[in-house]
Amino acid sequence: DIQMTQSPSSLSASVGDRVTITCRASQSVSTYLNWYQQKPGTAPKLLIYDASILQTGVPSRFSGSGSGTDFTLTITSLQPEDFATYYCQQSYSDLPERTFGQGTKVEIK
Amino acid sequence: QVQLVESGGGVVQPGKSLRLSCAASGFSFDTYAMHWVRQAPGKGLEWVALISFDGGYKKFADSVKGRFTISRDNSKNTLFLQLNSLTRDDTGIYYCARDRRAITVANYWFDPWGQGTLVTVSS
């Protein structure tokens, strides 16, 4: 199985800050890496697919990069509505067992 | 608009069964693979099961294999998850989510997701 590790597990940031979340795969997943945002009490929402493509309607302050084993999600200017938990998900293997990272919680400083 | 609505959750005793449903609307349900993903209280996301567009291909996480079954009724645009032999570790919110294609092959994602239904296994 491919293992996904996110870092940090949590972070505190202020409105307007630049935030970077890292996701590392235990083996290459090419660019088959997706990011989701989950706000408390709500379902996850697809933010970025194929490592760097923004889902329709996602603000341009979000961006994704990387390939192979190392990926980043960047929020250029954190907004109040961005405080949430973010998950990476690899889709290199056809079987989605253990497909998600453990999540990164972005909290208000 | 594209919508998924889960139902069927509740409180159930260990060892008992429950059947979850996911009603789809706003898209051609019979052309997409579908997934169930769960989330234990305060924990991360765990993929549970998938089913191909026609129900001919199914896969399960090791943690539920042999206890859960997945099915779909394309005439009613509905996805199901049958949960048997439930344990306390099965407690959580169960989400249904759509795949990007008819079958799950590399480079897939989950979009959209339903709002989830809560399953609580407790005596």
Q: Looking at CA atoms only, how far is residue B11 from chain A in angstroms?
A: 19
Asked if A57 is an interface residue toward chain B (Cβ–Cβ < 8 A), one would say: no
Contact assessment for residue A34 and residue A50, using Cβ atoms and an 8 Å cutoff: yes
| H runs (alpha helix) in chain B | none
Asked if A65 is an interface residue toward chain B (Cβ–Cβ < 8 A), one would say: no
The whole-number average pLDDT for the span A4-23 is 97
B62-85 tens-digit pLDDT: 999 999 999 999 999 999 999 999
The band of B106, judged by pLDDT with boundaries at 50, 70 and 90, is confident
pLDDT at position B116 over 90: yes
Mutation target to probe the B interface, by most B beta carbons within 10 A, among A95, A102, A104, A105 is A95
Which chain A residues are Cβ-neighbours of B50 within 8 angstroms? 96
Residue of B nearest to A34 (CA): B109
How far, in Å, CA of B71 to CA of A58, rounded?
A: 32
Which chain A residues are Cβ-neighbours of B108 within 8 angstroms? 91, 96
DSSP string, A19-84: EEEEEEESS--TT-EEEEEE-TTS--EEEEETTTEEPTT--TTEEEEEETTEEEEEESS--GGG-S
pLDDT at residue A92 in the model: 95
Look up tokens 């693979």; give the residue.
Answer: B33
Assigned token pair, A31: 């660019």
Which chain A residues are Cβ-neighbours of B95 within 8 angstroms? 43-44
Mean pLDDT, chain A, rounded, equals 96
Assigned token pair, B51: 């089913």
Q: What percent of chain B lies above the pLDDT cut of 90?
A: 95
Task: Give SS3 for B90.
Answer: helix
The band of A5, judged by pLDDT with boundaries at 50, 70 and 90, is very high
Burial A26-57 (b: 16+ CB within 10 A, else e): eeebbbbbbbbbbeeeebbbbbbbebbebbee
How far, in Å, CA of B60 to CA of B37, rounded?
A: 11
The band of B123, judged by pLDDT with boundaries at 50, 70 and 90, is very high
Closest of A102, A21, A98 to residue A65, by C-alpha: A21
Q: Of A50, A98, A100, which has the smallest distance from its Cβ to B107's Cβ?
A: A50
Q: Do B110 and A95 touch (CB under 8 A)?
A: no
A16-36 tens-digit pLDDT: 999 999 999 999 999 999 999
Closest of B74, B81, B84, B100 to residue B38, by C-alpha: B81
Q: What percent of chain A lies above the pLDDT cut of 70?
A: 100
pLDDT at position B105 over 90: no
Task: Give SS3 for B89.
Answer: helix
pLDDT at position A98 over 90: no
Asked if A54 is an interface residue toward chain B (Cβ–Cβ < 8 A), one would say: no
